[in-house]
Chain A
Amino acid sequence: MNAEEAKATLESDLGQKIRELVTPAPRRMFVTVEGADLVEACRVIHDRLKITHLSTITGLDTGERFEVLYHFATHNLALTLRALVSRDNPILHTAVDVFPSAVLYEREVHDILGVYYEGHPDLRPLVLPDGWPEGVYPLRKDWTYDRQQGVIA
């Protein structure tokens, strides 16, 4: 699968749902969709492009909205699917049904960025400690950390 074939397939199958599609470097492609179209786009990538490897999921806060990036990889192509999520109501539908390997990565995004995944089998905390306060998400830009300075008595 090369980048041109992937681009043609994505454009024919997803059509107007693609907000942006760029290939900034060889073997790299970034596709942007609305959060509501995430699972459909994943399904096209899995069923039509035959990409089975989900490398990881990045959650990111731009200050105005969240972006959740699904990084897929196959021979000679690293495809990133960007889902736009509103900051006020950060809800996505899980992609676990299409990519079972998303289960830990979505848990991590839920943990540290606070994006809720509908239909996810298990959203218990993954990386944050037990007793971490609810509704506090460290990777949001408005969360800052100040550690008490150590005092040598």
Chain B
Amino acid sequence: MSTFILPIGPQHPALKEPASFRVKVDGEVVVDADLRLGYNHRGIEKGAEARTYVQNMYLMERICGICSNAHLTAFVQGVERLLGIEPPPRGLFIRCLMGELERVHSHLLWLGVAGHELGFDTFFQYTWRDREVVMDLLEMISGNRVHYAMETFGGVRRDLSKDQISKILEGLAILKTRTEYYANLGTAEPTMVARIAGVGKLPKDVAIATSAVGPTARGSGVAIDVRLDDPYAGFGELIPFNIVVDEGCDVLARVVVRVKELLESYRICEFIVRNLPEGDIRVKAPRKVPAGEVVSRVEAQRGEDIHYIRSNGTDKPERVKVRAPTLANWPSALYMLKGCYVADIPIIVAANDPCMSCTDRMVVLSDTNGSETTWDWKTLRQYGIDFYRKKGIRF
């Protein structure tokens, strides 16, 4: 039978972000895959050259909704190195806590998406319900569910109170119990294992050759993690951390890596809030940045996030280069697609956790419930609860 080219994307129900694949299929088997990117290209690097460093903090945070804190941390710590300032220990601990809580929410979100792509929508609903626990913690700490705006040059913006620390510990205990349940479910439930074991094979040598990053690389036995290789935000000396590696080289291994990383993140968060040093959370930073260049790396949820910043002595950068982890994992995704079944394409692409935007939560309704046109979160939530109670559903 002759081959046939199947266009998938840029807008497609199986993809959550605009990326276009041209997949050459022979019956049900993928022979070759090609990629076209750029549907979300917003010219942020060019835009950064026209803005001051302070304005760029806001711009960098908005590169992505899910890894906003990772991008901001990479940018902020790069500029801090150019300025020659170092945040106080308490600031570093809170910065690290934000990074790990963001990893927790992102990995839980990914577990749900993976469940959905596998047709296991109960799993999706469960993980996303539990993800609300960490979203509430993030909101309590920063005031926002996305775009926390916690980092600033010289430290962080908000401190943690005793009350908040006890709430974080309570939340972590719930999450830990739930994640252990998912660890058991994801690796022992026969239908789930049968669906993902051996799918999307990425041998270790290919992962190295394509410079894969994050859980994709670590699921193929490549022990790279910026938190270990290039410690930042208190990692290394102040905060202990264990790398998670799995030799499975398939989608199952990537699930295992992410679930174990969740458990590791809970340990890190618990260590941080139990050993939080006293003192200031930030030092004052000058507006003008001396001329120089810096490479700043952060382990985002999806892998290594690298920023290159060149300064020219003014209050605006000469060049800001951003490479988000998703781009680094596309060559390995294309490798994985070759030889797979068409039905496996969504989960293989999703297994790299390609970046997608988060939604805002402000809801505006036009006169469906009396005179109120704008509902706040509390009203909406209560409405939802009452709606399902009336139907006799208990939760």
Contact = CB atoms under 8 A, between A and B. Distances in A.
Interface stretch (A23-31, A36-44, A84-92): A23-31
Contacts of A75: 228-229
Given A60-B310, A101-B331, A127 B323 contact: no
A73 B260 CA distance: 25
Chain B interface size band reads: 20 to 34
A52 to B, nearest CB: 5
B38 A125 contact: yes
Given A58-B321, A73-B230, A78-B295, A129 B304 contact: no
B339 interface: no
Contacts of B310: 60
Contact of B292 (A24, A101, A145): A24
B235 interface: no
A3 interface: no
A139 B45 contact: yes
A126 B46 CA distance: 16
A48 interface: no
B323 A104 contact: no
Contacts of B327: 56, 104-105
A53 B224 CA distance: 9
A76 interface: yes
Interface in A15-67: 24-25, 27-28, 30, 52-56, 58, 60
Contact of B230 (A78, A126, A138): A78
Interface string A107-119: 0000010000000
Contact of B211 (A52, A58, A60): A52
Contact of A78 (B208, B297, B319, B323): B297
Contacts of A30: 293
Interface in A116-150: 125-129, 138-139, 145
Interface string B316-351: 001101010001101100000000000000000000
B230 A52 contact: no
B297 to A, nearest CB: 6
* Chain B residues touching A, majority SS: mixed
A127 B330 contact: no
B311 to A, nearest CB: 12
Given A55-B328, A126-B37, A138-B43, A71 B210 contact: no
Interface in B42-73: 43, 45-46
Chain A interface size band reads: 35 or more
B45 A101 contact: no
B252 to A, nearest CB: 24
B182 interface: no
A30 B292 CA distance: 12
B238 to A, nearest CB: 16
A129 B39 CA distance: 8
Contacts of A53: 208, 211, 224
Interface in B17-46: 36-38, 41, 43, 45-46
A60 B210 CA distance: 24
Contacts of A126: 36-38
Contact of B46 (A73, A74, A129, A139): A139
Closest 6 CB pairs of A and B: A101-B211, A56-B323, A127-B38, A58-B321, A127-B41, A58-B308
27 contacts: A24-B292, A24-B294, A25-B294, A28-B294, A28-B295, A52-B209, A53-B224, A55-B297, A56-B321, A58-B319, A60-B310, A73-B230, A73-B297, A73-B304, A75-B229, A76-B229, A78-B230, A78-B297, A80-B308, A99-B211, A101-B328, A101-B331, A103-B331, A104-B331, A127-B41, A139-B45, A145-B46
Interface of A: 24-25, 27-28, 30, 52-56, 58, 60, 69, 71, 73-76, 78, 80, 99-101, 103-105, 112, 125-129, 138-139, 145
Given A52-B211, A76-B230, 11 more contacts: A28-B294, A52-B208, A53-B208, A58-B319, A69-B308, A73-B304, A76-B229, A104-B331, A126-B38, A127-B38, A145-B46
